[in-house]
Structure 1
Amino acid sequence: MKKINLYTHKKILVLGLAKSGVSAALLLHKLGAFVTVNDYKPLSENPEAQGLLEQGIKVICGEHPIELLEEGFELIVKNPGIPYHNPMIEGAMKRGIPVITEVELASQISEAPFIAITGTNGKTTTTTLIYEILNAGHKSPLIAGNIGTVASEVAQAAKVHNQIVIELSSFQLMGTPSFRPRIAILTNLYDAHLDYHGTRLEYVKAKANITKNQTSDDFFIVNAEQADVMNIARGSKAQIVPFSAVRELSSGAYIKDDWVIFNGEQIMKRSDIRLPGSHNLENILSAVAAAKLSGVNNEAIYQVLNTFTGVKHRLQFIDEVDGRMFYNDSKATNILATKNALAAFDKPIILLAGGLDRGNEFDELIPSFTNVKAIITFGQTAKKLEDVATKTGIKTIRRVDNVGKAVPLAYQLSEPGDVILLSPACASWDQYKTFEVRGDIFIEAVHMLK
């Protein structure tokens, strides 16, 4: 960990706890700052805040009092989930108080370089693949961010010989004024989180922050098939490394004659890759590019890609039961993710779908229903999905109360050779706290069949 005096004797407010807030507060305290933590959850129900209090850190819980901003804070470290239209954040910005996220702190103290991954879809799979490949190649990677340990905790332990592989959301990237990854990856851009950002333009601008501080010594791996991504690339000072799953490129990562190619070099046969789905091919190509730029040999890349079958809840193969293949894609919380999942299979599919109603319709799914022989719906969007299935001509349409009941019904409706796919196309919050909880219930129900 780098020894910095940037925050010594500075008054800093950590707004919102969870894991990142706790880590930020403890780190700033260690760095000599005068830290105040403000969290909305009452102290009596807040073990994280109680723990910080025991460390001698000032804690204010149960509300976000706007008058707190009059105490002369020089910086606010914001939980990424708190939107910028929150009165506390708006008040801070009016007063000229800088607002950052915990990732910025991590980058300031880290001795290790970062490989940072963002995008609308594919972040977690790409991050996991890069970590696994670097690990197989003995490159001493550490994993951080949304799918690992909090970034500032990892950064404190990281040494010069490590590489921190980090998945970053648009929420995190909005608070990173100096964050500079050695390798940045932008997987793709689609409409997402517009309730947080307000407009697509603001969302895209947030994602572009991943490369804003890169220099000509750094690398920016980008999806060559997306105009918005390439527009961001044109404004980057980094060395641009494109990837494409649909055409040959003059440089970067692509497919040619069933080979994965990087800068003209044959890496491995596409047919030897275990992970299903054409959308995952883009994730694989970006991971291969990051691995090669990090000096990993082809044997390590082959070892991982020939055995890796997916991240939990992301088109994850669960089991085969009496010839039926069960896949958990609970992370498919939007239509595009479900379209990608459906495109990954050429066998008959029984689709389990439904969840939170955000006001959208599902007609976009119609072209993807070619192999869907039956659909089982649940949640607030059940009726909308049933209407789309009817339009498509799907004959077997059933509704159940929840995912747990959908699994045995899907088994009854299926035949050997069928794929039974949980890919909800919706968020889980109408019935489940997280998509992980929803996926775990699916997995348990599959195991109960055996």
Structure 2
Amino acid sequence: MKVPELAEVQRLLIVGMARSGIAAAQAARRVLPHIEVVIADRQAQPEAAGDTSSLEAAGIHLAMGREDHTLLDGCGLVIKSPGVPGDISLIEEAHHRGIPVWGEVEFAWRFLENPLIGVTGTNGKTTTTELIGHILSSSGCACRVVGNVGTPISSLVGRVGEDDILVAELSSFQIEDSILLRPDVAVLLNLAEDHLDRYPDIDSYFAAKMLMFANQQQEDLAVLNRDDPAIGEMAIPGAAGRVWYGRVARGDRFGPGAGRPLVYLSGGDIRYDQERLRAISAGVRSKLRSCLAPELPGRCRNGTAGGEDSKKVIAWSETALKGEHNLENSLAAAAVCLGIGLGAAKVAAGLRSFPGVPHRLQPAGTVAGVAYVNDSKATNVDAAIRALTAFDSGIHLILGGSLKGCSFERLARAATADRDKVKGVYLIGQAAAAIGESFRRTGGEVVMCGDLETAFRQASAAAVPGDVVLLAPACASFDQFRDYEERGELFLSLVDESSKGSD
């Protein structure tokens, strides 16, 4: 337990009554019974709160529809839910009074002794987090997948054995209020423009993600994508051992900071470098020894990447995931699991059997020869562009949702570069006008649809057998939906209704 400063705290305020805030309040009642716990939300009836009677029964005080500064009176600690911006008046007043402000992940981490693998990046977090968890659990390891994937990490406080490995998807919102957070393994997948409705500029967004690495020590691991230009240009903080992965075996692609990769693609195979594996700090493996049995390679004959020191994990064609972006996700997961001591055969088995992630390039069905794909999780421009690479031609693309302050110019250029690949673009939601303007500047045509149901009908009517109707919105969903999951579920239901109608 890493919370000695809480000994004098008498009142704890949680700001934001979504899943993470509720989980933090419940955790505080379990492990800090002497502290008064208050949870506040600016909304009088937060949708995520549901039935609050169990919270009140647990002795948690509710302050709904309030954001006044008197909530801070007598307060010794503030826990900020990830969805709450740091510039609201209540949080700024807490800083002014010198009251510590922690994120929900920071709070939970202080009480958990478990090994922690944290996964961040602009895109691919959910898939990579779930894939790592699948590889570990299918290998017989006790493992919990938590964080931005849907299960708040606070929900495990006081409820999980210390030998369980925690694999956490961590967004910038969850990391930005970190103080001492120190994952045993921290993974950075990629960096691209996103969340400029939350951060003043892209550098501030990137800086929030860097906090996940800042407290790491030499016995920890930082797993980094050597193919991502933005990562190659970043000064990654902390003292962790660097573990790179990439598409080719050569090192120094983006300068001296990006070294030879542990895991890479060669001749269609995912391979690993035994010399690099032996050079990785043994500290993480020591900490995880009670959680998994390390299966480290024996001594090899030379250190030539791609030569005798290179070992095959699996052919890329044999893995369950498809698409160029999923190659990067698979390389990252393999680097993590090999790096902490799991054997290559078990990594291969997990890569081969992974069932995929809902709402992430999820096949939704085929109706009258037209394939439908749900990529509602593509909530930014970079994710939508990556989704396009999964298909060769015949795409009818549904875009739009709530604005995040980002430009759509790159997406418009990518979608209009090959008119046979993207045959139609259908726009919905708040961002429709901005996206449409970007497409018009590139000479592209769009169909203004307003809502998802209309876009679905229009795209379906235009599609012919062999085409793909792809929901990859490039936007958040909050203008018309509770979250991206609700948006994806509506798309799936529309496909199901269409399928029944064609029978």
Q: How does 1:51-450 map to 2 (within 5 A)?
A: 51-69=54-72, 71-230=73-232, 232=234, 234-245=236-247, 248-249=250-251, 250-263=260-273, 264-308=310-354, 310-357=356-403, 362-364=408-410, 365-369=412-416, 370=418, 371-386=421-436, 397-450=446-499
Q: Decide which moves more: 322-331 or 4-13.
A: 4-13
Aligned equivalents of 1:78, 1:44: Cα separation in 2:
16
Shift of 1:130: 0.6
Aligned equivalents of 1:331, 1:322: Cα separation in 2:
26
Local SS of the residue matching 2:243: strand
Q: Decide which moves more: 357-366 or 83-92.
A: 357-366
Cα pair 1:9 1:34 within 8 Å, conserved? no
Judged with a 3 Å threshold, the aligned counterparts in structure 2 of structure 1 residues 432 and 18 are, in CA distance, closer, same or farther, namely closer
Aligned equivalents of 1:16, 1:382: Cα separation in 2:
30
Judged with a 3 Å threshold, the aligned counterparts in structure 2 of structure 1 residues 78 and 359 are, in CA distance, closer, same or farther, namely closer
Local SS of the residue matching 2:158: helix
Judged with a 3 Å threshold, the aligned counterparts in structure 2 of structure 1 residues 410 and 61 are, in CA distance, closer, same or farther, namely closer
Aligned equivalents of 2:59, 2:406: Cα separation in 1:
48
Q: Decide which moves more: 351-360 or 419-428.
A: 351-360
Judged with a 3 Å threshold, the aligned counterparts in structure 2 of structure 1 residues 360 and 82 are, in CA distance, closer, same or farther, namely closer
Shift of 1:391: 6.0
Shift of 1:182: 0.9
Aligned equivalents of 1:384, 1:294: Cα separation in 2:
45
Cα pair 2:249 2:261 within 8 Å, conserved? no
Q: What is the TM-score when the length of structure 2 is the normalising length?
A: 0.82
Paired AA for residue 279 in structure 1: H
Paired AA for residue 333 in structure 2: A
Percent identity reads: 34
Cα pair 1:123 1:167 within 8 Å, conserved? yes
Aligned equivalents of 1:280, 1:383: Cα separation in 2:
31
Shift of 1:412: 2.8
Cα pair 2:196 2:406 within 8 Å, conserved? no
Judged with a 3 Å threshold, the aligned counterparts in structure 2 of structure 1 residues 398 and 342 are, in CA distance, closer, same or farther, namely same
Q: How many residues were matched structurally?
A: 447
For 1:243-264, what per-residue CA distance to the aligned partner results, in whole angstroms no more than 9, with x for missing partners?
Answer: 1135544332211111112223
Paired AA for residue 315 in structure 1: L
Judged with a 3 Å threshold, the aligned counterparts in structure 2 of structure 1 residues 173 and 393 are, in CA distance, closer, same or farther, namely closer
CA RMSD of the aligned region, Å?
2.5
Cα pair 2:409 2:439 within 8 Å, conserved? no
Shift of 1:417: 1.7
Runs of 5+ consecutive residues of structure 2 not aligned to the other structure:
252-259, 274-309
Local SS of the residue matching 1:416: coil
In the other structure, the counterpart of 2:44 is 42
Q: How does 1:6-25 map to 2 (within 5 A)?
A: 6-8=5-7, 10-11=9-10, 12-25=12-25
Q: Decide which moves more: 213-222 or 12-21.
A: 12-21
Aligned equivalents of 2:467, 2:409: Cα separation in 1:
24
Aligned equivalents of 1:336, 1:218: Cα separation in 2:
30
Judged with a 3 Å threshold, the aligned counterparts in structure 2 of structure 1 residues 368 and 255 are, in CA distance, closer, same or farther, namely farther
Local SS of the residue matching 1:325: strand
Judged with a 3 Å threshold, the aligned counterparts in structure 2 of structure 1 residues 134 and 389 are, in CA distance, closer, same or farther, namely same
Judged with a 3 Å threshold, the aligned counterparts in structure 2 of structure 1 residues 222 and 27 are, in CA distance, closer, same or farther, namely same
Cα pair 1:343 1:368 within 8 Å, conserved? no
Shift of 1:303: 2.9
Local SS of the residue matching 1:67: helix
For 1:7-46, what per-residue CA distance to the aligned partner results, in whole angstroms no more than 9, with x for missing partners?
Answer: 3452222222222222222222332323233222337986
For 1:112-147, what per-residue CA distance to the aligned partner results, in whole angstroms no more than 9, with x for missing partners?
Answer: 110001111111111011111111111111011111
Local SS of the residue matching 2:6: coil
For 1:189-240, what per-residue CA distance to the aligned partner results, in whole angstroms no more than 9, with x for missing partners?
Answer: 1122223222222222211111111111111001113354245565320010
Q: Decide which moves more: 130-139 or 219-228.
A: 219-228
Judged with a 3 Å threshold, the aligned counterparts in structure 2 of structure 1 residues 297 and 133 are, in CA distance, closer, same or farther, namely same
Cα pair 2:224 2:245 within 8 Å, conserved? yes
Cα pair 1:115 1:164 within 8 Å, conserved? yes
Cα pair 1:219 1:239 within 8 Å, conserved? yes
Judged with a 3 Å threshold, the aligned counterparts in structure 2 of structure 1 residues 328 and 202 are, in CA distance, closer, same or farther, namely same
Judged with a 3 Å threshold, the aligned counterparts in structure 2 of structure 1 residues 72 and 401 are, in CA distance, closer, same or farther, namely closer
Cα pair 1:327 1:421 within 8 Å, conserved? yes
Paired AA for residue 18 in structure 2: A
Shift of 1:443: 0.8
Shift of 1:386: 4.6
Q: Decide which moves more: 383-392 or 232-241.
A: 383-392
Cα pair 1:133 1:300 within 8 Å, conserved? yes
